[in-house]
Structure 1
Amino acid sequence: MILELEKDNLQEIIDSNTNVVVQYSASWCGNCRIMKPKFKKEASAHENITFVIADAEKFPESRKLANVDNLPTFASFEQGKFKNQVQTNKYDLLKELISEVANN
């Protein structure tokens, strides 16, 4: 499942789903746009994980959950708690982050 935040409610999504992976991005971020289709591809391959796209500019409370200071940032959450993050435009690093969640 993939969701795009429409309000600053990422914590609610994390609390109501066991495994969550978030792409923090912004409309001006070229690398974010490059990674978005890859993120969506991974979402279709991992039905046991909730994938969320969060605009880091529009949703500051959601951004704080992973201490985002660079874009794109990908963060994983398990059982309602922050697990890991990677700030990257490299597909292999994104897949590693997702596999950490998928294998639990």
Structure 2
Amino acid sequence: MRKLASMEEYEQLKENGKYILMFSAQWCGDCRFIEPFMPEVADKYKEFTFIYVDRDEFIDLCVELDIFGIPSFVAIENGKELGRFVSKDRKTQDEIEEFIAAL
């Protein structure tokens, strides 16, 4: 999983391609819970490029996209939001995969 480096990179990425932005933070316990199985999820859904977005580094982007809980996921294709899985709840591998499969 790639880590978002800058807002400029985000602006370029969102316009071309198929991405799942994963909003997370190092201090987030629920984010640490999903870490072990996220590589398997990314392998299963290769049509998407998974991008790790550090909530603390990109708080303005979180506000812009209404991300109030982490971990959260936003799927984007060629500038259009395909869907989002945004809540304050702990997420399971099955729930994340169901979200992606339904896109």
Do both share a fold (TM > 0.5)? yes
Q: Which amino acid aligns with 1:56?
A: R
Identity of aligned residues (%): 22
Residues 66, 90 of structure 1: alpha-carbon distance in 2 compared, 3 angstrom cutoff: farther
Matches within 5 A, 1:54-93: 54-86=53-85, 87=87, 88=89, 89-93=91-95
The answer for unaligned runs of 5 or more in structure 1 is: none
Q: TM-score, normalised by structure 1?
A: 0.80
Task: Give the aligned CA root-mean-square deviation in angstroms.
Answer: 1.8
Question: Structure 1 residue 65: deviation in Å?
Answer: 5.0
Q: TM-score, normalised by structure 2?
A: 0.80
| 1:25 aligned residue | 24
SS for the counterpart of 2:82 is: strand
| 2:13 aligned residue | 13
The answer for unaligned runs of 5 or more in structure 2 is: none
Residues 28, 94 of structure 1: alpha-carbon distance in 2 compared, 3 angstrom cutoff: same
Provide the C-alpha distance between the structure 2 equivalents of 1:11 and 1:92, rounded to a whole number of angstroms.
30
**How many residues matched?**
99
Which 4+ runs in 1 deviate beyond 4 A?
none
Q: Which amino acid aligns with 2:16?
A: S
Question: Structure 1 residue 64: deviation in Å?
Answer: 3.8
SS for the counterpart of 2:102 is: helix
Residues 80, 49 of structure 1: alpha-carbon distance in 2 compared, 3 angstrom cutoff: same
